[in-house]
Amino acid sequence: MSFRKILNEKVKKAFIEAGFDEKYAIVTVSNRPDLCQYQCNGCMAAAKEYRMKPLDIASKVIEFLAGDEAFEKAEVCPPGFLNLTVKDEFLTDYITKMSKDKAFLYRGENTGVSVIDYGGANVAKSLHVGHLRSAIIGESIKRILRFTGKTVYGDVHLGDWGLQMGMVICGIIEQFGLENLQTEEDRLKNITIKVLETTYPAKSQEAKENEDVMAECKRITFELQKGEGIYFDIWKTVLEVSKNDLKKNYGRLGVEFDLWKGESDVRDIMPEMIEKLKSDGYAYMDDGALIIDVTNETDNPPIPPFIVVKSDGSVLYSTTDLATIIEREESLNPDEIIYVVDNRQGGHFKQLFRTVEVTKTAKESLKLFHAGFGTMNGKDGKPFKTRQGGVMKLEDLINTIVEGAYEKIAAAVSNEIGEDEKREIAEIVGIGALKFGDLLNHRSKDYVFDIDKFCSFEGKTGPYVQYSAVRIKSILSKAESTEGVILPPEGDVQRDLFIMLTEFPYAVEGAASDYAPNVLIEYIYNLSVILNKYYHEYKVLSEADEEKRRSRIATLKLTLDLITKLLGLVGIDIPERM
Ligand code: ARG
């Protein structure tokens, strides 16, 4: 049980014993640390129900708290606050237990199965910065939910089935000739990632300008979607080559998917789904297309009809998304599906979720949630572009920030550190800086990509937090032992640190409940700030008193362990030195 919950239970008991409802017994960290450590404001609310003065309620409740072993002080403060300060021994006892438990006494009580749909890369198109946020945020949500006890499946949901595929296949055939794409060996020889990178942009541009080319791409897409034949064979190779490359890119970011499924994985169940939508009377033909009306009078603006099949016979992004919900229900039976996708697809998800509701496609209790995110902007406030003005590829973006980190690292570390290690450190610090800078804001907000700011060792940044941790690592590596009895706090800074350490479950759960890693980032930063204060206030290795020295080392060890764990939940590593 969390420390604050233990206190809360005591206060609840006191409310009940004093004859009041326990629902008023909410304990928070004090916003007047000069007066007390914790407070309960419930007597003010209870006053209305019981038609009593808050002060009288508080005075009754406090009688049952005063003698408690946990509290150093339990006081009433007008007009009816309960001000609580815990005994150092009681707090220290908890901290000691925390330091001996792998999970820091946290037992996530969330249950159920979640699918996180994130990444969303498109096969044969390069990953771009828009996919970066999805990967970073989604990975973090996945890890956080898992830590709170949920069973979580992360699915990359590749874009591998639409017109884009027809375009790529068309371009490949043009370059190599169908006769050179007949065997798997030939295909693997010709279809390289370099080829894929240039083929799609060229073909889609061409198709935009030339109707005949577009018609051919559409024809190939239609043939491909039959699921057999040479186009399908070429498609399989494209998928394989592309997946291998994606795994490399995502791997560099520490993003790991449990499922490498895509839009195409529902190709076999779509015909049946479409038939059922028709026979249930939801879908009907309109101007050659098969559509479903999903809007109702209260929608303002109205939600446009859901197109199941286009007039040219092909299916759309929405069709595969709908079928994927069926597929996920059948294979994983989730309680919720969380889509970590750009805010600009808000309309798409609104329509999709409504369609599910109207057509009763999923069990009623299934929660569908669009965890939307904002745009990463350049310093000019517009969506981030390369210097040439194009959309920047993810790989280039990562290289840019790692380079930025390298410059800072090279200037900061001693010459003892060799070039290779500097590069390794820069990779960890650069990617950490990028993730921290991204996750710092609530996902729904736009933010400005600013390498200088992100890579700075000062302020609310990844490097600041990493550096705080690295410094502790270095001390601990020089300590004779990291085992030691943690003594009661030697002063306010340590007391604050202790209380802060016990508060982490609230950050984890706050982040989990709103799918918002920024809540956790904020906590990690605040913990690092207190850690740094502590570090500056107390000597550690040079402290002559052995008991004190050992206690301080053990305190640092606990803090480092917790920071390491929590940074792991947001996907940030800590280098050995920096
Ligand atoms: N591939 C899509 C894109 O690049 C994102 C997929 C998001 N997930 C989904 N189930 N629609 O925009």
Segment 59-69, tens digit of pLDDT: 999 999 988 99
Which residue, chain included where needed, has tokens 């085992």? 483
Rounded distance between C-alpha atoms, residue 145 and residue 27, angstroms: 25
370 pocket-lining for ligand 1 (C-beta < 6 Å): no
pLDDT at 387: 63
- The CATH 3.30.1360.70 portion of the chain extends over 3-86
Residue 135 sits at the vertex; the CA angle it makes with 463 and 217, to the nearest 5 degrees, is 140
Alpha carbon nearest to ligand 1 atom 3, residue: 120
pLDDT at 226: 87
pLDDT at 372: 97
122 pocket-lining for ligand 1 (C-beta < 6 Å): yes
Homologous superfamily, domain 3-86 = Arginyl tRNA synthetase N-terminal domain (3.30.1360.70)
Measured in Å, how far apart are the chain's first and last C-alpha atoms?
Answer: 36
> pLDDT averaged over the chain?
94
216 pocket-lining for ligand 1 (C-beta < 6 Å): no
Q: What is the pLDDT of residues 414-471, one digit of tens each?
A: 778 899 999 999 999 999 999 999 999 999 999 998 889 999 999 999 999 999 999 9
pLDDT at 165: 93
Cβ–Cβ under 8 Å, residues 426 and 406: yes
Q: Coil, helix or strand for 243? A: helix
Cβ–Cβ under 8 Å, residues 416 and 547: no
Residue 275 predicted with pLDDT over 90: yes
Joined tokens for residue 90? 């009681």
CB atoms within 10 A of CB 478: 9
Pick from 155, 157, 325, 394 the residue to mutate for probing ligand 1's pocket: most ligand atoms within 8 Å of its CB: 157
Rounded distance between C-alpha atoms, residue 493 and residue 33, angstroms: 12
Instruction: Quote the ligand 1 centre to 131 CA distance (angstroms).
Output: 9
**Ramachandran area for residue 288 (φ above 0: left; ψ -120 to 50: alpha; else beta):** left
pLDDT at 386: 65
CB atoms within 10 A of CB 205: 12
Instruction: Quote the ligand 1 centre to 120 CA distance (angstroms).
Output: 5
Contacts by 39-42, CB closer than 8 A, 24 or more apart:
39/81, 39/82, 39/83, 39/84, 40/11, 40/81, 40/82, 40/84, 41/80, 41/81, 41/82, 42/15, 42/82
pLDDT at 414: 76
Joined tokens for residue 399? 């290289």
The average pLDDT across 522-545 equals 96
159 pocket-lining for ligand 1 (C-beta < 6 Å): yes
Identify the band that residue 23 occupies on the pLDDT scale cut at 50, 70 and 90: very high
CB atoms within 10 A of CB 458: 9
125 pocket-lining for ligand 1 (C-beta < 6 Å): no
pLDDT at 142: 98
Instruction: Quote the ligand 1 centre to 233 CA distance (angstroms).
Output: 24
Instruction: With CA atoms as reference, report the closest residue to 308 among 372, 245, 260, 358.
Output: 358
Q: Please enumerate in sequence order all residues whose Cβ is within 8 A of that of 562, keeping only pairs 6 or more positions apart, or say none.
A: 104, 501, 504, 527
138 pocket-lining for ligand 1 (C-beta < 6 Å): no
Instruction: Quote the ligand 1 centre to 185 CA distance (angstroms).
Output: 31
Identify the band that residue 515 occupies on the pLDDT scale cut at 50, 70 and 90: very high
pLDDT at 273: 98
171 pocket-lining for ligand 1 (C-beta < 6 Å): no
Alpha carbon nearest to ligand 1 atom 2, residue: 120
Helices (H) and strands (E) in the chain, counts: 21, 13
321 pocket-lining for ligand 1 (C-beta < 6 Å): yes
Q: Coil, helix or strand for 380? A: coil
The average pLDDT across 13-27 equals 96
Alpha carbon nearest to ligand 1 atom 6, residue: 120
103-130 burial string, b = 16+ CB within 10 Å, else e?
Answer: ebbbebebeeebbbbbbbbbbbbbbbbb
Q: What percent of the chain has pLDDT over 90?
A: 85
pLDDT at 221: 92
Helices (H), 30-162: 42-50, 54-63, 88-99, 129-147
Q: Please enumerate in sequence order all residues whose Cβ is within 8 A of that of 480, keeping only pairs 6 or more positions apart, or say none.
A: none
Q: Please enumerate in sequence order all residues whose Cβ is within 8 A of that of 92, keeping only pairs 6 or more positions apart, or say none.
A: 486, 487, 488, 489, 498
What are 370's strand-pairing partners?
A: 339
Residue 388 predicted with pLDDT over 70: no
Instruction: Quote the ligand 1 centre to 40 CA distance (angstroms).
Output: 45
Residue 574 predicted with pLDDT over 80: yes
Q: What is the pLDDT of residues 138-182, one digit of tens each?
A: 999 999 999 999 999 999 999 999 889 999 999 999 999 999 999
pLDDT at 396: 85
Q: What is the pLDDT of residues 327-362, one digit of tens each?
A: 999 999 999 999 999 999 999 999 999 999 999 999
157 pocket-lining for ligand 1 (C-beta < 6 Å): yes
Q: Helix axis angle, 211-224 relative to 230-252, nearest 10°?
A: 90
pLDDT at 197: 86
320 pocket-lining for ligand 1 (C-beta < 6 Å): no
pLDDT at 347: 96
Identify the band that residue 86 occupies on the pLDDT scale cut at 50, 70 and 90: very high
pLDDT at 129: 80
Contacts by 379-387, CB closer than 8 A, 24 or more apart:
379/448, 379/449, 379/450, 381/448, 384/129, 384/449
Pick from 115, 118, 122 the residue to mutate for probing ligand 1's pocket: most ligand atoms within 8 Å of its CB: 122
Q: Coil, helix or strand for 153? A: strand
Which residue, chain included where needed, has tokens 């400005």? 448
H or E stretch including 377? strand 376-377
Helices (H), 413-517: 419-439, 451-454, 462-478, 492-502, 504-513
168 pocket-lining for ligand 1 (C-beta < 6 Å): no
